[in-house]
């Protein structure tokens, strides 16, 4: 071969250089950058784990007195069994206070009824570290994203929160906003402009949940906020008709649900036939699901518009979303979002999937006392596509996993969901599943290996605080071995 004709040491290096173009991203909250230092975090994320992208938040923190600020790791799914794998300010769990990493500029928010969080002494003392991290990551050839809420604003007002079909306030785990709220959209537009003015080297944004979470049963029945009614009527939807049918289904589930209904969903076909027969009684439900999908796509379009309006070319948009089949309820549409997103990261948050059975099941039992609990568990496990290896026959078996407890979700269920997301995206955007770092090493490696060895376009891991040194080394070995 001529001089420099093959600029790699061997064929293996050449193959790795080609395949490593798959994205591997890790979410690194700024807490740990302050705790460990810019170079230490990048050495772990890039050199050890092999990440090509990082996502962070424009927030700085410091330890706080007990009961002040917020607890980290935060309460999740109504419980706080989690502890960090990596010490944060010397502890695996602690109270912290926080502030923006920069001084927000009011001129960007003149059209928004929501104001940004004010800067504080933490901003002055530590804010510069976020900019230094971005600069250092870019110098290493790493893409840098801001991960932000996809549909909320500071000090969220009740008028901008979702409602149930009967007009009531849903029981929720996630305090998310109404996707059709003009106030929230105006704030997000301003927030993006403010951040890009401060951090022009950012590669893109990862809005979290441009959809409606469905952890709890009531969350599956949002959103009938007046903003949504206005939005839908302007686009020709028969909103009042579909609201009536969705309200009727909600009422049915809260007092008239039967074991025969459950048997339909607990059957071997996962309710594919009988379930549709049940929903056929309420035809407006299908239009409601289509409406949520259209609304989610429109919110993603709004995010793209906000990015483009900054004048910074090449900004990437990568949305975090639920996994199918839950997206039928949340509204996220992989095909529709592909018109506006460069990528989407469906969440392999397996510790949430099982506890959802408990959340939904307890509410249904509370309102339908004659239901058989075993039948209910199997029906919900099938509805959520967890039916391969359910952890038990009672709701108690579907609890939030403890730190050293494997997540009881089969490989087959996870692979099916990833394959469905890829099929629905249909090549319109990259699909980069988001694996959660929480859990024991062996189980985390099992879950991460499924993504690494699959045909998806890449992977993200949430988040750095749950990645011990051993997990970090394992990620690097698995990813390099798969690619």
Q: Give the pLDDT confidence of 441-466 residue by residue, as tens digits.
A: 999 999 999 999 998 999 999 999 99
Residue 77 has a pLDDT of: 66
Strand pairing report for 143-149 and 316-321: unpaired
Residue 5's pLDDT is 34
pLDDT of residue 16: 41
Q: What is the pLDDT of residue 13?
A: 42
- pLDDT value at position 482? 77
Note the pLDDT of residue 274: 64
Identify the segments of the chain with pLDDT beneath 70: 1-20, 77-80, 268-275, 483
At which residue do the structure tokens 């990833």 appear? Answer: 418
Tens digits of per-residue pLDDT, 191-213? 999 999 999 999 999 999 999 99
3-state secondary structure the chain: CCCCCCCCCCHHHHHHHHHCCCEEEEECCHHHHHHHCHHHHHHHHHHHCCCCEEEECCEEEEECCCCCCEEECCCECCECCCCCCCCECCECCEEEEEEECCCCCHHHHCCCCCCCCCCCHHHHHHCHHHHHHHHHHHHCCCEEEEEEECCCCCCCCHHHCCCCCCCCCCCCCCCCCCCCCHHHHHHHHHHHHHHHHHCCCCCEEEEECCCCCCCCCHHHHCCCCHHHHHHHHHCCCCHHHHHHHHHHHHHHHCCCCCHHHHHHHHCCCCCCCHHHHHHCCCCHHHHHHHHHHHHHHHHHHHHHHHHHHCCCCCCEEEEEECCCCCHHHHCCCHHHHCCCCCEEEEEECHHHHHHHHHHHHHHHHHHCCCCCHHHHHHHHHHHCCCCCCCCCCCHHHCCCCCCCCCCCCCHHHHHHHHHHHHHHHCCCCEECCEEECCCCHHHHHHHHHHHHCCCCCEEEEECHHHCCHHHHHHHHHHHHHHC
Choose the CATH number for 23-482 among 2.60.40.420, 3.40.50.2000, 3.20.20.80, 1.10.1200.10: 3.20.20.80
The answer to whether 77 and 173 are in contact (CB under 8 A) is yes
What's the pLDDT at 74?
A: 82
Q: Give pLDDT, residue 483.
A: 63
Per the confidence metrics, is the pTM higher than 0.75? yes
Please enumerate in sequence order all residues whose Cβ is within 8 A of that of 406, keeping only pairs 6 or more positions apart, or say none: 439, 440, 442, 443, 446
């Amino acid at each position: 071969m001529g001089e420099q004709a093959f600029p790699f040491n061997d064929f293996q290096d050449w193959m790795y250089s080609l395949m490593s173009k798959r994205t591997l991203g890790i979410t690194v909250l700024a807490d740990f950058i302050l705790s460990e230092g810019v170079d230490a975090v990048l050495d772990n994320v890039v050199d050890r784990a092999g990440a090509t992208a990082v996502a962070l938040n424009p927030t700085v923190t410091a330890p706080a007195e007990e009961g002040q600020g917020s607890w980290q790791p935060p309460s999740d799914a109504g419980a706080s069994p989690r502890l960090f794998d990596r010490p944060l300010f010397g502890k695996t769990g602690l109270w912290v206070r926080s502030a923006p990493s920069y001084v927000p500029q009011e001129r960007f928010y003149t059209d928004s009824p929501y104001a940004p969080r004010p800067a504080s002494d933490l901003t002055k003392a530590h804010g510069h570290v976020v900019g230094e991290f971005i600069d250092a990551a870019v110098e290493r050839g790493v893409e840098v994203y801001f991960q932000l809420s996809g549909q909320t604003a500071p000090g969220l007002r009740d008028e901008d929160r979702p409602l149930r079909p009967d007009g009531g306030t849903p029981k929720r785990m996630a305090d998310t906003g109404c996707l059709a709220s003009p106030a929230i959209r105006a704030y997000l537009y301003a927030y993006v402009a403010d951040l890009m003015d401060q951090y022009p080297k950012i590669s893109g944004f990862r809005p979290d949940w441009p959809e409606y979470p469905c952890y709890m049963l009531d969350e599956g029945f949002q959103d009938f906020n007046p903003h949504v009614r206005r939005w839908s009527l302007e686009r020709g939807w028969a909103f009042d008709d579909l609201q009536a049918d969705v309200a009727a289904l909600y009422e049915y589930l809260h007092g008239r649900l039967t074991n025969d209904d459950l048997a339909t969903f607990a059957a071997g076909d996962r309710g594919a036939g009988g379930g549709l027969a049940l929903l056929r009684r309420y035809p407006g439900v299908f239009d409601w699901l289509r409406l949520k999908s259209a609304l989610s796509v429109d919110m993603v379009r709004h995010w793209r518009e906000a990015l483009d309006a900054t004048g910074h070319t090449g900004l990437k948009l990568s949305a975090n979303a639920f996994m199918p089949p839950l997206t039928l309820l949340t509204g996220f549409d992989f095909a529709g979002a592909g018109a506006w997103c460069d990528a989407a990261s469906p969440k392999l948050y397996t510790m949430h999937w099982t506890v959802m059975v408990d959340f939904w099941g307890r509410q249904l039992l509370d309102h339908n006392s004659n239901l058989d609990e075993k039948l209910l568990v199997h029906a919900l496990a099938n509805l959520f596509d967890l039916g391969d290896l359910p952890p038990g026959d009672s709701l108690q078996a579907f609890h939030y996993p403890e730190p050293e407890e494997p997540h009881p979700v089969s490989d087959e269920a996870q692979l099916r969901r990833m394959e469905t997301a890829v099929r629905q995206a249909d090549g319109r955007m990259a699909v980069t599943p988001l694996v959660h770092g929480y859990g024991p090493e062996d189980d985390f490696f099992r879950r991460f290996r499924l993504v690494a060895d699959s045909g998806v376009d890449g992977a993200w891991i949430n988040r750095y605080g749950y990645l011990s040194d051993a997990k970090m080394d394992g990620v690097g070995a698995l990813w390099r071995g798969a690619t």
